[in-house]
Structure 1
């Protein structure tokens, strides 16, 4: 079974991307920087995505289970507050598994739902669409395939929308990048449309770091896989065994910062005529920021981006939250 079997219940639009060229440019520039870095979006090739699916099952990584429990507990209130909203717009939809709770509640409340999935992976969107369309006769699916900023900048607002950005993915956009992202989302929404965020909250340092340093090393494999991608896609000759995974909470940034750390000094070819990259003992490659929010911080961010908080739902330990925002009428404030 494929999406073509569902006729006009499925539509898709694909934006042109230049992933190979962007990857080469960003890796070369990141290795040439004073503080070496690889953008976190490159962690999610086919193997990286599969490893992340394993990470969400780890006992140390509680975020998905806390988010699912909150959705189950508050889904009725969330759907009720988003009165008359029959379109769900999910950013970074992936497999769409966690969205089913909202889809089912919306069908029960409104009878039918249009589910719009925005993701960089065409295969992921199509596979998820087949499952949703087969399981829910009252659902139509629209797929938007491309980079977030690329797609959001071109999608016209469609009233009666509840947008979703779950999994604490907002934490991968710290500081001004988060402001830029939420303003792009606001631009794709009509006044009074809603945005539901799933966010990891600031808590005990040991608990935050434990989530990114699991005992059996799945997160380490996920991190190191980006070097395997560099070797494969660029023809580089990096010794992956010379790097160890490290994730630490940085009080200054408010984020868990993840790195690959060189064990020994080394020089590696990046393939072709590219300049070799040098590593000193202990030198780090930054691969991901996972910001941990406070409620006050989220309120300031929402205000700066033209949203008004309409609901803040958290668990008993105040470890994770769902935040329901409404797109305001007024222009965004300059930060």
Structure 2
């Protein structure tokens, strides 16, 4: 069945320039229904686990923005360093006329790509893709005013479900930045890359940001900062559950801990129950019991090496065209092109 979609023209630009369009595939109530289903599957069983997407309500997003500015947290700065050095190379090698950004957020780093593509005379369209409709509408209008010569076609969707809704036409470059790919476990990543690749045409590209394996102490410090901002960010998911599901979690009853898992090669964000406790979730009419020391996993952040990234891209039919790192070798951007 084809999903209903709302297409809205936000702004008609002067001088014959295209307007701004918003397509909506995430309806009011979808997120809450998905959260209820995941909580039933993830919290009412053992081991307990939630998707990291629930960390990012308005407060969580602000806390994460605060995290990116912490001295211990390097990925955001390192990725920006690479983009400053190589955005022009991305534009030239991809030859893209359309830039699609998954999980667009504020599109702050993406402006470096937009500027490079515009300077090369090849930018005609920008497609920001994000799950938050209100945020995306504001961002789309802002970007349309900043880049009056291009069309902005925003898509409100979840990249786990709506990749097949990415607009067609022209040579496209999909940007998936920030190391977000690391929040997907290997099987999830394989499905994601295969689905994304299946919707690309030969010559279309993927610009992928990946955090790299490094000194374990630095990894630990990045996710267990001394100011406790990451701990507050992690515990905020319990406040989300309290608000959305009528739960009665005591956030202070859980301790934040984010160790590096050597076997899986990922940092694992955990909330550890400080005591034996029972939580009631009113909207589900269910209780959840926690033993003292029991773990609720809220996120994994996989760390990579070049050969692993290249192999996963290759398996999805994407050939690595370029690999760039920051000067310290902490983070990488890879440009891959869909094979014919």
TM tier, smaller = over 0.9
User: 2:226 aligns to what SS in structure 1?
Assistant: coil
**Counterpart for residue 158 of structure 1:** 169
Measured against aligned partners, the alpha-carbon deviations of 1:254-300 in whole angstroms (never above 9, x if no partner) come to 00000000011111212256231111111010000000001111111
**Counterpart for residue 116 of structure 1:** 127
**Counterpart for residue 45 of structure 1:** 57
Identify the range of structure 1 (183-192 vs 161-170) with the bigger mean alpha-carbon deviation: 183-192
User: 1:23 aligns to what SS in structure 2?
Assistant: helix
Aligned CA distance change for structure 1 residues 314 and 177 (closer, same or farther; 3 Å)? same
Q: CA deviation at 1:6?
A: 4.0
Contact 1:196 1:322 in 2 (8 A): yes
**Aligned to 2:23, which of 13, 21, 32?**
13
Tell me, in whole angstroms, the C-alpha distance in 1 between the residues paired with 2:300 and 2:87.
Answer: 29
Contact 1:165 1:196 in 2 (8 A): yes
Contact 1:3 1:129 in 2 (8 A): no
User: 1:148 aligns to what SS in structure 2?
Assistant: coil
Contact 1:6 1:133 in 2 (8 A): no
User: 1:73 aligns to what SS in structure 2?
Assistant: helix
Contact 2:36 2:284 in 1 (8 A): no
**Counterpart for residue 10 of structure 2:** 4
**Counterpart for residue 333 of structure 1:** none
Contiguous gaps of at least 5 residues in structure 1: 330-335
Q: CA deviation at 1:112?
A: 3.8
TM-score when normalising by structure 1: 0.94
Structural RMSD (CA): 1.6
The answer to whether the aligner puts 1:91 opposite 2:97 as a matched pair is no
Identify the range of structure 1 (143-152 vs 284-293) with the bigger mean alpha-carbon deviation: 143-152
TM-score when normalising by structure 2: 0.92
Q: CA deviation at 1:156?
A: 5.6
**Counterpart for residue 83 of structure 2:** 71
Q: CA deviation at 1:111?
A: 5.3
Aligned CA distance change for structure 1 residues 273 and 297 (closer, same or farther; 3 Å)? closer
Tell me, in whole angstroms, the C-alpha distance in 2 between the residues paired with 1:19 and 1:268.
Answer: 21
The answer to whether the aligner puts 1:293 opposite 2:314 as a matched pair is no
Tell me, in whole angstroms, the C-alpha distance in 2 between the residues paired with 1:80 and 1:202.
Answer: 29
The answer to whether the aligner puts 1:186 opposite 2:197 as a matched pair is yes
**Counterpart for residue 155 of structure 2:** 144
User: 2:120 aligns to what SS in structure 1?
Assistant: helix
Q: CA deviation at 1:130?
A: 2.1
Q: CA deviation at 1:317?
A: 2.3
Tell me, in whole angstroms, the C-alpha distance in 2 between the residues paired with 1:149 and 1:230.
Answer: 21
User: 2:213 aligns to what SS in structure 1?
Assistant: coil
Measured against aligned partners, the alpha-carbon deviations of 1:78-101 in whole angstroms (never above 9, x if no partner) come to 111112x21001111111111000
Q: CA deviation at 1:188?
A: 2.2
Tell me, in whole angstroms, the C-alpha distance in 2 between the residues paired with 1:16 and 1:61.
Answer: 31
Contact 1:310 1:326 in 2 (8 A): yes
